[in-house]
Structure 1
Amino acid sequence: MSHKILFVCLGNICRSPMAEYVLRHRAAEHGVSHRIQTDSAGTSGWHDGENMHEGTRKTLARHGISHAGFTSSKVKSADFDAFDYIIAMDDNNLADLEKLFGRHPEKIFKLTDLIPESGYKLVPDPWYTGDFEETFRLVDAGSLALLKKLSLT
């Protein structure tokens, strides 16, 4: 069985693409790439068709993770049926997703819900904070927690 995961942030150039590629990388490390499909999208559509933010690309590269083949896109109504999990980066993203799809906490939730021990209620947006490493640490911990939740580790 394959799990289809969509990560969502505001613009789809910082947090959600980082999560998409980190989860893909961690799945490969655990030998379960064939059981995970990842994608990402933004709630705003502001950056549709663009590459991920340079800070995200550099952070992924520093951690030995490829960023090839990415193009930013906006969440679509068809995504609800296309994905098993739709994972938001913050409360605003979650609220936007719930406006679009309704409330489905078993399917649509925040990444930080998977890592309550982190003390974070959201993944800070490095577009504003400039701290791409902080985002990476949270996304990485969330990715490992998700693999565990899906019984893939």
Structure 2
Amino acid sequence: MIHVLFVCLGNICRSPMAEAVFRHQVKEAKLEHEISVDSAGTGDWHIGKPPHEGTRNKLTEMKINQDGMRARQVTAADFTTYDYVIAMDDQNVQNLQAVGAGAADRVIKLLDLLPDQPVRNVPDPYFTGNFDEVYELINKACSRLLEKVRAEHGIEAD
């Protein structure tokens, strides 16, 4: 089983959106038995809370399941559990490197998977309110991530 963890600041906007979108893509590719998906935040403010209303609304609009999602904080143990730790922005990368000393090479910034994309950090819709833009960026980058995971683990396309 390949384990993927998405990380943002509070685990209520960007990383749960990425978790739900990637899980949806994995399910559409019929790879749920090979790839597991989760999300976490570097901060502890929202532990136990569901995703932000804006994230929930966007996922509902796109018919993407979000049942049972609750915020949690990333731990050092996550670096031994997860094969891919995907950060939403530069600050998340720095925070993750502090938590996962020695395993920082496993951290990938999500938009680095879209090198032609002018936006380099997934904007935080908690502050901008732009859940549409965030969804578009996440959806494209998650598609690229799925291609990367398949290529690196020899998983054939349907």
TM > 0.5: yes
TM bracket, shorter-chain basis: over 0.9
What is the DSSP-based 3-state SS (H/G/I as helix, E as strand, rest coil) of the residue aligned with 2:135? helix
* AA aligned opposite 1:79: D
1:67-111 Cα shifts (integer Å, max 9, x gaps): 101110001111010100111000000000011113656511100
Aligned counterparts of 2:101 and 2:116: Cα–Cα separation in 1: 27
Q: Using the alignment, how far apart are the partners of 1:104 and 1:87 within structure 2?
A: 13
Aligned residues, how many? 152
1:1-153 matches, within 5 Å, as 2-102=1-101, 104=103, 106-151=105-150, 152=155, 153=157
**Matched position secondary structure for 2:5:** strand
Q: Structure 2 vs 1, CA of residues 103 and 77 (structure 1 numbering), >3 Å: closer, same or farther? A: closer
Unaligned runs of 5+ in 2: none
Q: Give the Cα separation in 1 of the matches to 2:104 and 2:50.
A: 30
Per the normalisation by structure 2, the TM-score is 0.92
Q: 1:106 to 1:145 in 2, by over 3 A?
A: farther
What is the alpha-carbon distance in structure 2 between the residues aligned to residue 26 and residue 35 of structure 1?
Answer: 13
TM norm structure 1: 0.95
Question: What secondary structure, in the 3-state scheme, does the structure 2 residue paired with 1:93 have?
Answer: helix
Q: Deviations over 1:104-130 (max 9, x none)?
A: 565111000111122221100000110
Matched letter for residue 149 of structure 2: L
C-alpha distance in 1 between matches for 2:103 and 2:4? 15
d(CA) in 2 for partners of 1:105 and 1:148? Answer: 22
